[in-house]
């Protein structure tokens, strides 16, 4: 559950980094200060998350941030510059909170904050989903960072004994990270399958318990299927780029 907490915490925690500036009044006289830049960035994140990246939206973003389109250009150079700033913001938030929230206490704080104010997380999570679904230039970087940080957490947790050893920590990181991204990009289908309204909060909370179950106890009650797969892959497994931390001899069942 610790690793899942780190991943879900990252997705939820990003919005906290932006939420503090949402209520600031617009600067007087068109003053182009840091507050205006943050408001424009946050408005842009919400815009791209809502309508995607292919539709021009400089005027809409400017209105939402209570500035002019000329102000946006002065602050970011162009709409492409604004998109790059949004990408960097999400990437920095991802890396900055990855390890801090990959603990039981960190996940507890994230879940409490999310339940108290789920709307504050919507734009950042949806932005990530849009970027990946539309395969934007930033998507590869977002996925790479998520996978790399996931692998780092896995290896750290294997070393400290909070996670079982793995035959292939890198592939495990890819599997878990892309599964989490699937929750973001396929939210409407998941909500429909679960009979839920269009509510990101309800979806994530509904999936939190089975995620905790499967990552804490595993799914199978013995290692028969794991042994079958290991035997089938013996001699055909591609070489790993990095050495493993520990072995997978303990199995995955409880």
The 3-class secondary structure across 30-90, one letter per residue, is HCCCHHHHHHHHHHHHHHHHHHCCCCCCHHHHHHHCCCCHHHHHHHHCCHHHHHHHHHHHH
Question: Would 250 be classed as within a structural domain?
Answer: no
**What pLDDT does 150 receive?**
86
Q: Which residue has the tokens 């089938």?
A: 232
Radius of gyration of the chain, Cα coordinates, nearest whole angstrom: 21
Question: Would 172 be classed as within a structural domain?
Answer: yes
How far apart (Å, rounded) are the C-alpha atoms in residues 69 and 143?
Answer: 31
Question: Would 103 be classed as within a structural domain?
Answer: yes
Question: Would 227 be classed as within a structural domain?
Answer: yes
Q: What tokens appear for 5 in the block?
A: 């907490």
Find the CATH number of the domain harbouring 200: 1.10.357.10
Total domains in the chain come to 1
Residue 21 has a CB neighbour count (10 Å cut-off) of 15
Shortest CA distance to 128 belongs to which of 13, 33, 35, 211? Answer: 13
Q: What tokens appear for 10 in the block?
A: 């990252």
How far apart (Å, rounded) are the C-alpha atoms in residues 227 and 120?
Answer: 44
Question: Would 245 be classed as within a structural domain?
Answer: no
Question: Would 240 be classed as within a structural domain?
Answer: no
**What pLDDT does 165 receive?**
95
Question: Would 102 be classed as within a structural domain?
Answer: yes
Tens of each residue's pLDDT in the chain, 254 residues: 334 445 554 444 433 333 333 333 333 334 445 799 999 999 999 999 889 998 878 999 999 999 999 999 999 999 899 999 998 887 776 666 555 555 666 666 666 666 666 565 677 778 888 899 899 888 888 888 889 988 988 999 899 998 999 999 999 999 998 988 888 889 899 999 999 998 777 888 888 889 889 988 889 999 999 999 999 998 776 655 554 445 454 444 44
Compute, in degrees rounded to 10, the torsion defined by CA atoms 174, 192, 203, 92.
50
Shortest CA distance to 1 belongs to which of 94, 96, 105? Answer: 105
Question: Would 138 be classed as within a structural domain?
Answer: yes
**What pLDDT does 81 receive?**
93
- List, in sequence order, the alpha helices (H) in the chain: 2-19, 34-51, 58-64, 69-76, 79-98, 104-116, 122-133, 137-160, 169-185, 187-193, 200-217, 224-233
Secondary structure (3-state) at 242? coil
Find all residues with CB under 8 Å of 89, minimum gap 6, and list them: 17, 18, 41, 45
- Whole-model pTM above 0.85? no
**What pLDDT does 208 receive?**
85
Domain that holds residue 159: 2-233
């Amino acid at each position: 559950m610790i690793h899942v907490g780190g991943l879900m915490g990252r997705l939820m925690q990003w919005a906290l980094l932006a939420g503090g500036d949402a209520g600031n009044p617009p600067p007087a006289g068109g003053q182009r200060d840091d507050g205006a830049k943050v408001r424009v960035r946050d408005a842009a994140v919400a815009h791209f998350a809502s309508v995607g990246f292919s539709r021009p939206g400089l005027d809409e973003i400017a209105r939402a941030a209570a500035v002019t389109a000329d102000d946006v250009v002065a602050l970011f150079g162009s709409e492409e510059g604004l998109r790059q700033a949004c990408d960097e913001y999400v990437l920095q938030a991802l890396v900055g909170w990855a390890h801090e929230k990959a603990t039981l206490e960190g996940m507890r704080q994230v879940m409490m904050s999310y339940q108290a104010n789920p709307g504050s997380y919507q734009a950042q999570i949806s932005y990530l989903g849009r970027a990946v679904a539309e395969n934007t230039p930033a998507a590869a970087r977002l996925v790479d960072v998520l996978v790399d940080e996931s692998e780092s957490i896995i290896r750290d947790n294997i070393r400290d004994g909070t996670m079982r050893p793995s035959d292939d920590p890198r592939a495990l990181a890819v599997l878990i990270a892309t599964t989490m991204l699937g929750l973001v990009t396929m939210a409407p289908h998941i909500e429909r399958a679960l009979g839920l309204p269009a509510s990101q909060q309800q979806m994530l909370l509904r999936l939190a318990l089975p995620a905790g179950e499967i990552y804490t106890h595993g799914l199978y009650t013995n290692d028969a299927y794991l042994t079958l797969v290991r035997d089938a892959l013996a001699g055909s497994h591609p070489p790993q780029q990095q050495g493993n931390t520990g072995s997978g001899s303990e199995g995955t069942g409880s």
